[in-house]
Structure 1
């Protein structure tokens, strides 16, 4: 139990919740001591409004984001108070203000959270409309609350400046370990490959998010503040984790073929699976060590596992004889080399968290880092380009504006207790996508009812204001802690907090609970109806764009692999960028599919074909990673003409698939020279046979490497061609139906 509590409290979500809880509780307690509860409460509101804008980033971007949010939430509060008495201009002003504030989301995640903070402030402005000097004073206190939250956030940053990135790295290592475990599961006989691949795709969505968070903080900090040892160490670990993921993805063997081939020799596959599981276990242990800030002591025997696999391969070769076992040995040797590469990368990560740090590991890690970040600039053109119904954010902004206006008018006409709670519910629940809005509506209502009943039950028995105050602070802390991970639980605790606060200041608790539940149901209903009927953003409309981006990213990755194979040398920045984008886009494609699966059945158009294309793109990326990883880690021969012809054919297949998604006219020239590659492999074997017959001395190791390269390259290119053809056929079927 204690371990679970420690695990929960040592998370980014709990730390963020602790920051906003401290920033809201201190002003209330301090000013209540001097008999100025309302002043303290208003300052607390300013901190509460500003909190959502505090997202992962470098210190400079953090400060700028919080300052902008603070100014906007205070400014909007003042403007609404000034214009509210003039009803003839107020409603058009409110509509324009909501629309423009919501449109800020076109500038990315930080702007989206600043927009959310401002809209929350706007909704709660109606809980206390002021006039004259009072409205200036009220807005000033909100501004002070935002600045106070900034101070609290900076104190947390300087107390543990590297803790956030440590936790993100630990989470990244843990998720990567899960990915390796799933790769190991594929080696189980009769494994449910479809379920495993779906889990891998879902995991890719999570990995994309964590990778982006780490890039945002590490690279921005590196660029703005220079390179510290801690920063470089974390950067080294992050790069190693990305490469471990690439190698894990690259172990894209035909498992059915391997099981058939080694059915009578199960030891080799079981030995490899055991190694795969131990790789995952090692990373999991490393993740726990980083999270607990303990010196890492390796407990694994990965080198012994590698030796066991090598012995299993040797025994297999002895059992079958050199000639009969040659093809199987090449396959197993490739698997062994992939495992060796994983162990090598894990060793780099381990060294980073022990006293044994190899300076050579840091060489070149900070080259062209800024290219891996999306530039942060806010041109006016970005806003104007999104002022059309083709923009998801534009349609969402219109929906939100109309829903809020309707909610405000209903709250004014009908005898609702708190109109602002209807507006707040709409803002918190409503999302651009139908599925998430529906889910949050249900969780919000359930959490509100459950939280109200629990809090009401506690207040029935507990009358001591000190105990109620402590319970309210705990509820606030837990409510914020679960916001990102479990919205239903978060809504429950936030409702309990609100009921406890009102339990202290007003005796009409029963009325409060009833009105809050009613307001929540009305707000959730309006959000749901608006998303369903007002220019809905059904995911099937966006799916062609995500498919196109994923196919295009894979295509660019293939082009970079081809350039590297032809020119050799060191891995270029453009290669690493192409790899990064391919990983990101397959995650985005899966996230789009997840959203589509949450929508009404009538809107899940061609769902099986969409899922098939998602899996095909994942398989394509896996094959590309196999090819790319091999040519990076081996001294390869010159790329043959056949290699380049097949690569061109795959690229043209993908070009036509992209053209179909764009509805452009594009004709593919038939050119599939698989036979040339098969002949090359056969020719190498024939040369070997002739040399053995003639007794010509040869370099056995060099020949083995050539044979291994020939087999792997041939298999991957044939598979790439097959995958690109299937992608093209499935895309054609998708567009024709």
Structure 2
């Protein structure tokens, strides 16, 4: 691992920028208040600033602004109501029930409002017993409101000063994720690769790439300044994002039968050199991502042309020594792999040219796409949608019930006097943080929260015990706060670790000498909240991941079929627009990622809820391979060449028949005999005849050492095209067999809830 590069990634990331912004918004007012001796009295001011800052998720300016306004209004309303009702204990439980259900249910309108709802419940915890607010209801609520507005003002100022900063950082993060993806693929060419493990890691990486692309699409396409403004920066960012999408597809087109490649060339050193070259390209992509995050211009780390030339020379040397009629097809496969790697290399060089000549290239940018179609539709604040989800069939409502039960139980436990809990609101807050819609996610966060809290409490205790210097403690306080917010999205356990440290230091600043009580309460409250969240998530209206399997399998099978049809249309000279094709590609990748994500969560479910786990794993792997092979197949449509030697109509019928058979089984529909007949078709290709002719020429004629990296014979392209079609068919047939094994239990996967 290159630690200098990793540090640059972290230092220039959107996460650290957001963390610094929130931390400064908290610390600066706190320092001013402390200077005048008012920090204890106005402690709610920086607290409100931090809560509002946590609802500020990446995205278009207008959506962020509206969410912040809603958060400010919600927080103020909750603070007033909770402050009034705390004097009427009989009303506190109805208050918890109403607020819990409402603020959880607004999650039906997307993650942004789900965050607002969760933080509103945290505000309820702060005000519910007056522990931090005292008896001055209006004063406390107004201070809290002022702190909320403070962050909103800072948000407006920063957005005005740096309108493109967030978009640049998110696009840069796309390139960093693609670099990790390429680094994984490079390992297929190294010695003794673990194929199953690598495929699992690649599928996991596809999930993170998909999620990030969706967030970035929304930010880039929905932000008026980037889409419509004719500035060089806005056009450059748009160009860089579109290039990242195309680069992602090119990386997917580099899919090959790695086992066969290793079998044929694993004994040589060439594959190892190929893997090292791909790792080098991965580092170049990381370099581009860091430059975009930091707003600087990227320059190549190494000479890509020279390194690629060395790879080709190694290939030609190997070909000259090993090429025979028997190994001809193996070398054709290797030649196509080199061609795909060359395409990726050219793409990276083009991106570097954009940096060096951005004015000229950015002004010529014209996507020709209706970008609105590529953005996930936002749920409108429609009361009908909200009310329609009040049903046990709705996962949102079931989650709202679980949250409500857990908070009622947690609050009840916090009021038990014999436990002697001094910071009871920590139980409430921890339950909100841990309890998520999926049992697997709740279980995972529960463990991370416990590990992070215990480790953070021990370190914080040691810091306060051994370091008496207030200036040093203040620097550690700020550092821990920044790191907590920086890791909150990417590494929850580390975030909780630093959160615990800065909470200890904050309470030490406000009330020195209370260390043992804080330590006991923090650990005890976390254990209690974790136990409550675990029990509720397991026993109260649980939603097991296997209940989602069938719907996600249907969507993935359907979108792969449409993706294949769109790719095949180019070769059959059917009228299909590039925009329609890209929409089909986007849908296939998203549905694959959703299916993979569900499988990853299912692994954490109890053993008795892991229905047909092995079969689902096989379905996920085959879905990934089908999508990747279709991407490889579609790359030939860009060449505008004709391949009359391949019977595309026959292959279309043959492969579509297998894909349709899978769909029909999943949808429990009858199979027509003509589909079975189409699946058994033998396409009338002439590729084998041409291959035999070429092998005969090798036997009869002298071989010439022609070293032209840019030359790929028509026969090599034909052979690869047919090989890809065969791979798509073989994997589609394998997937159909997987689904046939699931057929008796398809109906049982839909649990009647």
TM-score over 0.5 (shorter chain): yes
CA distance in 1, matches of 2:362, 2:424: 63
More moved, 222-231 vs 89-98: 222-231
More moved, 230-239 vs 157-166: 157-166
- Counterparts in 2 of 1:500 and 1:307: CA distance versus 1, 3 Å: closer
- Counterparts in 2 of 1:296 and 1:473: CA distance versus 1, 3 Å: closer
Query: What residue in structure 2 maps to residue 565 of structure 1?
Result: 571
Paired residues of 2:504 and 2:518 also in contact (CA < 8 A): yes
Query: What residue in structure 1 maps to residue 493 of structure 2?
Result: 488
Mapped pair 1:20 → 2:51: no
Which ranges in structure 1 are unaligned for 5 or more consecutive residues? 693-700
- Counterparts in 2 of 1:688 and 1:185: CA distance versus 1, 3 Å: closer
Paired residues of 1:82 and 1:131 also in contact (CA < 8 A): no
Please report the RMSD computed on the Cα atoms of aligned residues, expressed in angstroms. Answer: 3.5
Q: Displacement of 1:386 after TM fit?
A: 2.4
Cα deviation per residue 1:239-266 (whole Å; 9 max; x = unaligned)? 22222221222123223434455579x4
Secondary structure (helix, strand or coil) at the match of 1:670 reads helix
Mapped pair 1:177 → 2:179: yes
Secondary structure (helix, strand or coil) at the match of 2:683 reads helix
Mapped pair 1:391 → 2:394: yes
Mapped pair 1:725 → 2:727: no
Q: Displacement of 1:86 after TM fit?
A: 4.4
- Counterparts in 2 of 1:197 and 1:225: CA distance versus 1, 3 Å: closer
5 Å matches for 1:334-483? 334-355=336-357, 359=361, 362-365=364-367, 367-376=369-378, 377-415=380-418, 416-463=421-468, 467-483=472-488
5 Å matches for 1:279-678? 279-291=281-293, 293-308=295-310, 327-328=329-330, 330-355=332-357, 359=361, 362-365=364-367, 367-376=369-378, 377-415=380-418, 416-463=421-468, 467-506=472-511, 507-567=513-573, 572-637=578-643, 642-667=647-672, 669-672=675-678, 676-677=682-683
CA distance in 1, matches of 2:413, 2:485: 29
More moved, 478-487 vs 326-335: 326-335
Paired residues of 2:165 and 2:295 also in contact (CA < 8 A): no
- Counterparts in 2 of 1:285 and 1:87: CA distance versus 1, 3 Å: closer
More moved, 607-616 vs 320-329: 320-329
- Counterparts in 2 of 1:392 and 1:160: CA distance versus 1, 3 Å: same
Q: Displacement of 1:511 after TM fit?
A: 2.3
Q: Displacement of 1:290 after TM fit?
A: 4.0
Q: Which has the higher contact order (CA 8 A, sep 6+)?
A: 2
More moved, 76-85 vs 459-468: 459-468
5 Å matches for 1:686-701? none
Paired residues of 1:29 and 1:40 also in contact (CA < 8 A): no
Paired residues of 1:475 and 1:494 also in contact (CA < 8 A): yes
5 Å matches for 1:177-326? 177-222=179-224, 226-227=228-229, 228-261=231-264, 266=268, 269=271, 272-273=274-275, 275-291=277-293, 293-308=295-310
CA distance in 2, matches of 1:298, 1:224: 26
Query: What residue in structure 2 maps to residue 698 of structure 1?
Result: none
More moved, 602-611 vs 312-321: 312-321
More moved, 78-87 vs 512-521: 78-87
Q: Displacement of 1:627 after TM fit?
A: 0.5
Cα deviation per residue 1:475-514 (whole Å; 9 max; x = unaligned)? 3233222322332332233223232333233343322322
TM-score (normalised: structure 1): 0.89
Q: Displacement of 1:445 after TM fit?
A: 2.7
Secondary structure (helix, strand or coil) at the match of 1:608 reads helix
Count of aligned residue pairs for this structure pair: 728
Paired residues of 2:16 and 2:486 also in contact (CA < 8 A): yes
Secondary structure (helix, strand or coil) at the match of 1:238 reads helix
Secondary structure (helix, strand or coil) at the match of 2:66 reads helix
Q: Displacement of 1:74 after TM fit?
A: 1.1
Query: What residue in structure 2 maps to residue 68 of structure 1?
Result: 70
Q: Displacement of 1:83 after TM fit?
A: 3.7
Q: Displacement of 1:269 after TM fit?
A: 4.8
Paired residues of 2:52 and 2:71 also in contact (CA < 8 A): yes
Q: Displacement of 1:299 after TM fit?
A: 4.0
CA distance in 2, matches of 1:131, 1:179: 49
CA distance in 2, matches of 1:146, 1:638: 67
More moved, 433-442 vs 56-65: 433-442
Paired residues of 2:654 and 2:729 also in contact (CA < 8 A): yes
Mapped pair 1:43 → 2:60: no
Secondary structure (helix, strand or coil) at the match of 1:54 reads coil
Paired residues of 2:221 and 2:227 also in contact (CA < 8 A): no
Paired residues of 1:596 and 1:604 also in contact (CA < 8 A): yes
CA distance in 2, matches of 1:361, 1:186: 40
Cα deviation per residue 1:106-138 (whole Å; 9 max; x = unaligned)? 111211111122121112112427999942332
- Counterparts in 2 of 1:131 and 1:434: CA distance versus 1, 3 Å: closer
TM-score (normalised: structure 2): 0.87
CA distance in 2, matches of 1:470, 1:130: 25
Query: What residue in structure 2 maps to residue 697 of structure 1?
Result: none
Secondary structure (helix, strand or coil) at the match of 1:190 reads coil
- Counterparts in 2 of 1:110 and 1:633: CA distance versus 1, 3 Å: farther
Q: Displacement of 1:294 after TM fit?
A: 4.7
Q: Displacement of 1:329 after TM fit?
A: 5.2
Paired residues of 1:646 and 1:673 also in contact (CA < 8 A): no
- Counterparts in 2 of 1:324 and 1:732: CA distance versus 1, 3 Å: closer
Cα deviation per residue 1:366-421 (whole Å; 9 max; x = unaligned)? 62111111122232333233222232222111100011011112222444323322
- Counterparts in 2 of 1:134 and 1:649: CA distance versus 1, 3 Å: farther
Q: Displacement of 1:571 after TM fit?
A: 5.4
More moved, 192-201 vs 505-514: 505-514
CA distance in 1, matches of 2:274, 2:475: 55
